[in-house]
Structure 1
Amino acid sequence: MNTSMDSLNTTQRSNSSGGDGDLRVTFPTVLSLITFLTGTIFNGTLLVVFAKDRSLRTPFSVYLVNLLLANFTCSVILYPMDFISNLHSAQWLIGNQACTAYLYTTCVIEAGIFHCHLLIALNRMWAVVHPISYRSIHSTQTAVLLCLGTWVYIHLAALPEVVLDALYYRLPVETAGCIINVAENPLRSYDRVAQLLFYHLPHLLMLLSVPIICCARRRSGLRKQNTVMPNYSIHPHTRVLTDRRGTQSSNTVLEGADRLQGIGGKSVAGIKARTRKLRGFLLLLLLTSSVTICWLPIDVYYTMNSQIEDFKDELFFQVAETLFSLQTTVDPLIFMFSMKNLRVALRRLVHC
């Protein structure tokens, strides 16, 4: 989470571990190892699938690859260091450079993961609320630029505090642990604003996107039901398209039948389009639900910790931290569950 959260995180682990230098296998140690293995394998496997299968390279898949890359980076950098730190009773024994990489991941990459989820929600909302502009404007280039712009914004807003700490204000990591020296860092007052911008606001926007999409889908369905269509029929023997007065249309046979099916919204292309929209909405619904379950407890814990002096609840903290760590592993599983073409591509890759 943000810098104040990392400080509390390290302090809480130190208090619970006793502060000695012995190797100690605790629940946070095992959790870090499991998250490292599952997050690296699941996210890395899907990245290979997207790289190998050209049929998956759509504009929308750019947002999925963006999230998988952020999860993979977090799994590879953050959780191995967490494992080593927890194994040594929360003492930091791997040096300043490793600490800088650790703080960069917790302050920048994790904030980016929140916004990767937000980009998926905004994309689905754009596709449903304004489908015409979405089809005319959105492309692979648009998706790439949106993802790059988001990461630039995250780095400009979150990176300065890490850089200032590494250059001027960091305490000795051997004794103080890998934390940002918030007491002397001039950006200390920015922490609460950063917590709101990087964590609470993206989560709120994701929650709001679901009812907005539901309302837009309902309005679109009502408009289609109220649309008055021509009363065309197909002659059972000649297969000629006629209107209600019995006059033959200038269009013949199968072409007329195909157009009639298209008018009624029952064409194969129409069914496939609706299926894709339903799967996209299912993906958003599952991601929003998992984000709420995995992120809300840790948000509540650190909000209460910042508002209530000496607030500590070890059980609440461990449960919240466990759920938060699961999100890295849950994301690729949700992609697999909600995307049939991704499952097919993975089977092809495994069989090869």
Structure 2
Amino acid sequence: MFCNVSFNITADCSHPQWHFLPVCSTVLTFLIVLCNGAVLITFFRARILTTPFNVYLLNLLLTNLLHAILVNPLDIAAMLFPRWPYSSATCTLYLYFQRTGDAVMINSHVLICVNRLWAVAAPLSYRLHHTRRLAVTLCAGLWLWANSLLLPQIVQDALFVRPPGVCHLDVRPQWALAVSGHFLLFVFPLILMITSYPLLLCLRRRRPRRIYQESDFGNSFQMRGRCDSEDIPAPARRKHRSKAFTILTLLTVSVTICWSPLLILFTMTFFMDYFDSAFYQIGSVLFLLEPLCDPLYFAIVLHDLRKAFGLTFATTSGVESTSSAVK
């Protein structure tokens, strides 16, 4: 979660020390894997849902799932033991996936926000140029951008800074690099997302509503002519309110609530050498709630996703029941 608290290398690490934060993190991690995994399976099995806009949702869900599987168990281990219980190489991989996953998660929300701004502010350009290939390219570029700012910090920390028995990204020896990465990958994206939402509201009120239509399957702004999802059958297309904007509204509110406490705390740590353990625990729980909320928002708002979800898992359950009956 952005950075770790340092561990006492002289303390006994043979017995885990269970308390509120690791217990809560364990429960939430299980739910994150379950919810994000179920929605991802639905997306991949119902290929008609993989529209250009939904590529951003898939990228966010996949990042949430990988972070919960690769990072959260080691986060919990770091909370349970006062000394890092694994090797230095494991620590380096842990810090890499943790920092990169955090950055990609928050900036994946920003990609959704920028996509909506483009769709509303320049609908003709959006209709002509926004494709699956572009969406995949933007998501891949986001991963490269995060790696370019974070990988040098982690490599320098592993080679020159980190003492034995400690798994902690010490920002003091590389303060300028750490602060620039913190603001470029975390603080500025959150500010951009919050400030862009009122602008998007104004643009939506001024747009000519009569030229827009939206697909149930794509859940993204469309215009008459070439559609955002070219393989949607014509009878399935009908006019209704934008589900993409509803998703963006929910994501903006939840990201602001769930990410702001830790961002404020670590910004204060950079400049004031301030750290509050109780505030960190509250912020960590809120941070874990965001990747749990994302798939729930998508399942609640997107009608076709709910329908595909029911068909996917009802079919799976039916096959299992039939197999049991045959046996």
Alignment TM class, shorter chain as reference: 0.7 to 0.9
Counterpart in the other structure of 2:186: 199
Counterpart in the other structure of 1:285: 249
Alignment of 1:178-197 (within 5 A): 178-184=167-173, 187-197=174-184
Where in structure 2 are there 5+ consecutive unaligned residues? 211-223, 225-233, 316-327
1:24 pairs with 2:13 = no
Q: Summarize deviations over 1:191-245 as a string: whole Å, max 9, x none.
A: 1111110111111111122112211111115x86xxxxxxxxxxxxxxxxxxxxx
Equivalent residues, number: 292
Separation of aligned partners in 2, 1:351 and 1:145: 34
Closer, same or farther: CA 299–73 of 1 in aligned 2, 3 Å: same
Which fold has the larger relative contact order, with Cα–Cα distance below 8 Å and residues 6 or more apart in sequence? 2
TM value normalised by structure 2: 0.83
Partners of 2:247 and 2:298 within 8 A in 1: yes
Letter in 1 for 2:139: C
Separation of aligned partners in 2, 1:32 and 1:19: 23
Q: Summarize deviations over 1:225-266 as a string: whole Å, max 9, x none.
A: xxxxxxxxxxxxxxxxxxxxxxxxxxxxxxxxxxxxx9xxxx
Counterpart in the other structure of 1:10: 5
Partners of 2:179 and 2:270 within 8 A in 1: no
Counterpart in the other structure of 1:318: 281
Q: Summarize deviations over 1:15-64 as a string: whole Å, max 9, x none.
A: 8xx94433211112112212321111111111111111111111111101
Residue 76 of structure 1 deviates from its aligned partner by 0.4
Separation of aligned partners in 2, 1:338 and 1:146: 24
Where in structure 1 are there 5+ consecutive unaligned residues? 225-261, 263-267
Alignment of 1:216-255 (within 5 A): 216-221=203-208
Counterpart in the other structure of 2:54: 61
Counterpart in the other structure of 1:118: 110
Residue 345 of structure 1 deviates from its aligned partner by 0.8
Whose radius of gyration is greater, 1 or 2? 1
Separation of aligned partners in 2, 1:38 and 1:126: 33
TM value normalised by structure 1: 0.77
SS at match of 1:102: helix
Counterpart in the other structure of 1:211: 198
Residue 271 of structure 1 deviates from its aligned partner by 8.6
RMSD across aligned positions (CA):
2.4
Counterpart in the other structure of 1:297: 261
1:151 pairs with 2:143 = yes
Residue 182 of structure 1 deviates from its aligned partner by 3.5
Give runs of ≥4 in structure 1 deviating > 6 Å: 268-271
Query: Out of 10, 27, 30, which is 1:34 matched to?
Result: 27
Partners of 1:47 and 1:68 within 8 A in 2: yes
Counterpart in the other structure of 1:272: 238
Separation of aligned partners in 2, 1:117 and 1:191: 22
Alignment of 1:63-82 (within 5 A): 63-82=56-75
Separation of aligned partners in 2, 1:211 and 1:182: 35
